[in-house]
Chains A and B, each alone.
Chain A
Amino acid sequence: MAERIQKTEFRIGGIQKSESRREGAGVVALNVLLYALAIVALTPLVWMVCAAFKRGEDLFAYAFLPWDHLGNLSLDNFRLLLSREPFARWLINSLFLSTASTVLSVLLSSLGGFGLAKYAFAGRRAVMLLMLGTMMLPGVVLLPGSYMLMYRLGWIDTYWAIIVPGGVSAFGMFLFMAAMRQVPDELLSAGRIDGCSELRLWWEIALPIVRPMTGAFTLLSFLASWNAFLWPQVILQNEAKYNLPIALANMVALPEYRTEYGTLMAGTLIAIAPVVILFFALQKDFVAGLSSGAVKG
């Protein structure tokens, strides 16, 4: 496989081995171009990190860092964020909301996926068609109806309204169903003969086998609720209950944070830090997870 990829790379470059003299210059030019583009992509992030550590007067005087007096860099912006705004609270809210809806969604999808993959029962096809149908619909069409439901349940401005509907992921259910089809039936039969209950078959046989997929889906699910804005914005009214996206969106609308934007950048930095840490920790799975569902060319 690796060899094949190597060969493909070579071909797409389209350069024959005999042209090795030109190859040296070509490789350098190619890498220079790629790294220039990479720098363009990273610049906004670097700018954000610099701004988070700069003090008021340096924000406008220097594009990146105040090179001649680096001693002026400080953690003031982070301090301001914690003292002037309930930022710690918002961070904890976001962590709680994302964790809770991820756990619920992984639990419900993996149970359901196992049921659909490994049992024949009345109504199985109907369930699948119904879910497939709803997957095609844009999520916003639910918004007015969901709001009405939450109003009737008395769930407006509560976390229930965010966590519980977050547990429904038809996409997750299909992912788990596809993965659990790969679990050999012989293993399940063997488990049954040994006296395993059906629930233990799910927990002790099926789940460990589909672990890579579970990891990828957990990441996707966490990322989605970490970044969720529209539905929480509709539901949450009390400032103390905000998650980070709502909090930062409100802050950027305030004129004072347009001038003291170092504080805002410090907040954004904190908001994306968990995701970046996850990325570094699980780089391979992350890319595989985000591109799962890609059609093989």
Chain B
Amino acid sequence: MRIDPYMRRGLWKCQHALAPYLFVGPFGLVFVIFLLYPLVSSLVLSLYDTASPRAMRFVGAGNYRYLLTDWLFWGAVANTAYYTVVFLIVEITLALGLAVLRNSRRVWGRNFLRFAFFSTHLMGHVFVAVLFALLLSPRGGLMNRVLSAITGSEVEINWLGRPELAMPAILIAAWWVSTGYAMIYLLAALQSVEVELYEAAEVDGAGRWSQFVHVTLPGIRPVLVFLVVVGVIGGFQLFELPYVLFGGPGPNGRAVTVVMYLYMVGFEMGNLGYASAVGWMLVVLIAGVSAVQLRLSGALRREE
């Protein structure tokens, strides 16, 4: 079949004009159906009391009102906040120390060290939790064996059974996974600080510590802020590690995080409506913390 040349040119122009929509279209379609729609639907659901996908009752702001005085929810928030703060302080301190060491002078076997510190980050949180559930087991677990060897007496700490040790157990696993990863970022940041700045500081008679505080820290500030932001978002979404490590809420519910609470309410008890309210409350909490963070990092910048 011969196509009329005018029509042919018309078709060609047409495919150019339509191209962007055809390119963005498939993504857009999936985005609207599987992301935007569930998002709106979660918001609507949060106004209902549900016992199953078919049994729903409109309660308006009732879920949110109940949430404000739900001490199980606020307990989960407290656990999550405690985890996030302690996790970040220790992670960043350790990672920065490691990065400074790794960055200084002649270090042998860089590839091996990178593998050693980074390899832990390759494991998914579920696999890490499985591993640590066994490492921390009271009898035969490596943790107690090492402690026994150090103290010289038989140590049988029930890491996963004592309420006050629930968070430390989660934190140990979390630090093991992510410190090396944070170190990689900080190492890259350290290497990008201008050498001239150190030279200038030295000319001005600044010592090693003073160089670190006045040249290094301001230089790597963007990466520090990035790590804090990522850490807070990740901390507030903590789920797999405690859920698999303890097989649920842990001793006295000390391992319950906000996301675990959402999961238990929505998918173990079947109240999707209340779970949605928990989800949106989490959005509000993260937004609040982010706003404070922005304020603080802005304030720090002005101070300099």
Which residues of A are in contact with B by a Cβ distance under 8 Å?
4-5, 7-15, 23, 26-27, 30-31, 33-35, 37-39, 41-45, 47-48, 51, 59-60, 63, 107-109, 111-112, 114-116, 119-121, 124, 127, 130-131, 134, 137-149, 151-152, 164-165, 167-168, 170, 173, 192, 197-199, 202, 223, 226-227, 229-230, 234, 245, 248-249, 251-253, 258, 261, 264-265, 268, 271-272, 275-276, 279, 283, 287, 290-291, 294-297
User: Among the listed A168, A197, A272, which residue makes an inter-chain contact with B27, where contact means beta carbons less than 8 Å apart?
Assistant: A168
Q: Judging by beta carbons under 8 Å apart, are A265 and B134 in contact?
A: yes
- Count B interface residues, CB 8 Å: 112
Q: Does B114 contact A (CB under 8 A)?
A: yes
Report the bound CA distance from A168 to B190 in whole Å. 35
What's the Cα separation between A52 and B208 when bound, in Å?
47
Chain B residues with CB below 8 A from A108, complex form? 26-27, 30
| In the complex, per-residue mask of B101-134: 1 if CB is within 8 Å of any chain A CB, else 0 | 1111111100111111111111111110111111
**Other-chain contact of A145, B38, B117, B124, B220 (Cβ < 8 Å):** B38
Picked from A35, A144, A252, the residue with its CB within 8 Å of the CB of B272 is A144
Q: Which one, B223, B244, B283, contacts A297 given CB within 8 A?
A: B223
Please name the 10 residue pairs, one residue from A and one from B, whose CB atoms are nearest each other, closest first: A227-B124, A115-B23, A145-B38, A145-B41, A112-B27, A119-B20, A145-B42, A297-B189, A38-B116, A141-B279
B45 within 8 A of A: yes
Chain A residue nearest to B120 (CB atoms) is A41
Chain B residue numbers with a CB within 8 Å of A141 are 39, 42, 276, 279-280, 282-283
**B240 CB–A CB distance under 8 Å:** yes
Contact A296 B130 (CB under 8 A): no
Q: Contact between A31 and B108 (Cβ–Cβ < 8 Å)?
A: yes
Q: Which residues of B contact A227 (CB under 8 A)?
A: 124-127
- Smallest distance from the beta carbon of B213 to chain A beta carbons, Å? 13
Name the contact of A140 in the complex, choosing from B22, B102, B208, B259 (C-beta under 8 A).
Answer: B259
Contacts of A164 in B (CB 8 A): 30, 34
B19 adjacent to A119 (CB under 8 Å):
yes
Chain B 208-226, CB within 8 Å of chain A: the 1/0 string? 1001000010011111011
Interface residues of B in 14-55 (CB under 8 A from A): 15-16, 19-24, 26-28, 30-31, 33-43, 45, 53
From B38, B118, B220, name the one whose CB has the most chain A CB atoms within 10 angstroms: B38
Q: Using Cβ atoms and an 8 Å threshold, which residues of chain B touch A152?
A: 53
Within 8 A of A (CB), among B180-194: 180-181, 184-185, 188-193
CB–CB A248/B126 < 8 A: yes
* Chain-A contact segment, one of B71-79, B81-89, B136-144, B295-303: B136-144
Most buried by A among B122, B179, B222, B280: B122
Q: Which of A8, A48, A148, A275 contacts B38 (CB 8 A)?
A: A148
Q: In whole Å, how far is A160's beta carbon from the nearest beta carbon of chain B?
A: 10
Cβ A168 vs Cβ B222 within 8 A: no
Please name 5 further chain A to chain B contacts, defined as beta carbons within 8 Å, in addition to the given A14-B208, A226-B124, sorted by A numbering.
A34-B102, A60-B139, A141-B283, A143-B263, A290-B181
CB–CB B122/A272 < 8 A = yes
Q: Shortest Cβ distance from A97 into chain B, in angstroms? A: 13
- Pairwise interchain contact B195-A149, C-beta atoms closer than 8 A: no
B275 CB within 8 Å of chain A: yes
User: Which residues of A are found within 8 Å of B115, using beta-carbon distances?
Assistant: 279, 283
Q: Which of A31, A144, A202, A245 contacts B45 (CB 8 A)?
A: A144
* A176, closest chain B residue (CB): B27
B142 touches A47 (CB 8 A): yes
A147 and B266 in contact, given A44-B135, A108-B27, A229-B126 (Cβ under 8 angstroms)? yes
CB closest residue in chain B, given A197: B15
In the bound assembly, the distance between CA atoms of A291 and B190 in angstroms comes to 14
**Docked-complex contact A148 and B272, CB < 8 angstroms:** yes
Indicate whether A138 sits within 8 Å of B112 (C-beta atoms), given known contacts A168-B35, A197-B15: no
**Given B34, B37, B129, which contacts A249 in the complex, CB threshold below 8 Å?**
B129
Contact indicator A7/B142 (Cβ below 8 Å): no
CB-CB under 8 A from A107, the residues of chain B are: 26
